[in-house]
Amino acid sequence: MPKSERTEAIKFLRKYIIGRTVVAEAVTTSDDGGRLAVAYEDQTFFNNLVETADGFSFDLTALSRGTRFVKGDRRGFLAEGTLDAIRVYRYEITERKSSGELVGYARYVASTNPQHDPFSGTCFLSRISIAGGEFVVEDTQAGYCDFVSSDGSFRAVASDGKYRYAPKRGKLVVYYQQATFDVDPETMRRTRTKDKFPLQVSREIDFTAIETDSDARPAKVRRAKGT
């Protein structure tokens, strides 16, 4: 009997992903035809794994810290806004009887952003597979979100992504590649943007290995002569 993709995915989630936290290296992107630059880093936590009769669900909580820069006339890029926010997404996946594939969606649940959040109300069509010992997630945005342009207006943009979750020496490493598309709100036609996104690499934090001051051995103090 062939192995169930659902069973293998849940096993991988339990062993390598759920309950773990990864931190991404800081990256800088070029948006809106080079008129915007964004510098940011993410910290992501995975929890709330729930098994169902034909699938599973889990939550992804991302803490983002970053700054948006606008290209000035003569002084280079100027800081224009913050990207600081905590967002929660929920993946709900089903193993299809017709194909054995794991498909479903990831939906925006909540954000701490006090302003309008670009991803508010968004949903992604998701496909999950196990390939080469990695847990692979391919997200295709349904509809579009609101990206800020250099002039302060909003652009209808779809943001797709591919995640590769890989265990390296017992620690989780996540590789993420983003691609964006301008969307015609009337026809929903997508056109690939010229925005540039480097590969983002996140590595697991081992909180138990962090040594606190109370655990550290006190340093020896050499007393001066005559005291």
On whether residue 19 sits in a domain, the answer given is yes
* Res 79: pLDDT: 44
Quickly count: other Cβ atoms within 10 Å of residue 34's Cβ: 12
Contact partners, residue 70, CB within 8 Å, separation at least 6: 35, 36, 77, 78, 80, 150
Q: What angle do CA 22, 23, 27 make, to 5 degrees?
A: 140
Residue 196 lies in a domain: yes
Phi, psi of 127 (to 5 degrees): -130, 130
Q: Which amino acid is present at 102? A: L
Residue recorded with tokens 């169930």: 4
Q: What is the mean pLDDT of each run of 10 residues along the chain (227 residues)?
A: 82 97 76 57 92 96 71 52 79 96 96 82 96 97 85 87 96 95 96 88 78 46 39
Residue 77 falls within a domain, yes or no?
Answer: yes
Q: Provide the number of structural domains found in the chain.
A: 1
Q: Is residue 81 part of a domain?
A: yes
* Alpha-carbon span 89 to 140, nearest angstrom: 14
Domain assignment present for 142: yes
* 212 located within any domain: no
pLDDT at 191: 96
Instruction: Give the whole-angstrom CA distance, residue 175 versus residue 6.
Output: 22
Q: Is residue 222 part of a domain?
A: no
What contacts 90, CB < 8 A, 6 or more positions away? 48, 57, 58, 59, 60, 106, 107, 109
Range of the domain at 83: 5-204
Q: Does 211 fall in a domain? A: no
Is the pTM here over 0.75, yes or no?
Answer: yes
Other C-beta atoms closer than 10 Å to the C-beta of 38 total 20
From 45, 49, 61, select the one nearest 12 (Cα to Cα): 49
pLDDT at 107 (0 to 100): 96
pLDDT in tens, 74-122: 555 444 555 678 899 999 999 999 999 999 999 999 988 777 778 889 9
Residues 6+ apart with CB under 8 A from 112: 85, 86, 87
Distance CA 169, CA 181 (A): 36
